[in-house]
Each structure stands twice: as structure tokens, then as C-alpha cells.
Amino acid sequence: MFDPTLAPNRGDDNFNNYGEEQIKIISEHFYGEAQEDQTQLTAEWKQVRYHFEKMKETSQYLESTTPTEYCLRHILQLTTPFGQSFPLLSKVAEIILSIPITMHDQRERERGQCIETHQNQTKK
């Protein structure tokens, strides 16, 4: 959802619906009963999608980070004189960026070790 390289272009039929299901799940998770915050988060998402085309054109994220991480960091940097451009979406981005990548890497390593163990046991 936060990978601009996977997002449809503005003229595409799927553009207006891109990420709608995911943002609904995220808004319910983080903002539960706060209907007004859920509505605001959805509105922020609808606006931030328009930044994706410019992010697609940016090649700098290819060198140092993933497109998703670049997008999340970009959301955090979008500010106005009054503060964050997307305050609720920025909080979500901050939380996502704080999740250690190694959790996923560790599961992949363990899965690989299980396969290697199984292969070694079947060789005997």
C-alpha cells in the first residue's frame, strides 16, 4: 500500500480505490471507536496518494532504501506552517517505520534453516 511503485497512475481506473481496504483496516486498528479520526485518516490517505506519481519519478530511494520506506519517510516530512500535513497518517508511518525489519528476516532465516535441516535429514 505504501509502495509508490505499485500504485496505479492517476488516470487508471483503480487509482481512486487504491489502498481503501487497507486504510480502513489500519484506521479501525489504530482509531477504534474514534469515528472522526478514522474519517480524517481516510481523507489524508486519499490526498497522499497524489504524491505517489512524483515519488515514482524519484530515483534516490533506490540507492539507500526501499520504495515503501522512502514513501513513509516522505509522509513524515510533508509539513505546513501549522504542522504535519497528514498528522494521523504520519503517526501510522512513524509506527510502521519503528517496526524492526529483522522480525521478518528472522522468520525467513528460521524457515530456511528448517528446509536445510529437512534436506540434511532426508540425505541420510
pLDDT of residue 118: 46
Q: Identify whether 123 is part of a domain.
A: no
pLDDT tens for 34-92 read 999 999 999 999 999 988 888 887 756 556 678 888 889 889 988 877 788 899 999 99
Q: Identify whether 124 is part of a domain.
A: no
Burial class (CB in 10 A: 0-12, 13-18, 19+), 113: exposed
Q: Identify whether 37 is part of a domain.
A: yes
Q: Identify whether 6 is part of a domain.
A: no
Residues facing 84 on adjacent strands: 79
Q: Identify whether 1 is part of a domain.
A: no
CB distance 75 to 48 below 8 Å: yes
Q: Identify whether 32 is part of a domain.
A: yes
Helix, strand, coil proportions of the chain in percent (round to 5)? 70, 5, 25
Residue numbers of the domain that contains 79: 15-99
Q: Identify whether 45 is part of a domain.
A: yes
pLDDT of residue 106: 54
Q: Which residue has the cell 478514522?
A: 38
pLDDT tens for 101-124 read 665 555 555 555 555 444 455 555
Q: How many domains are there within the chain?
A: 1
Q: Identify whether 35 is part of a domain.
A: yes
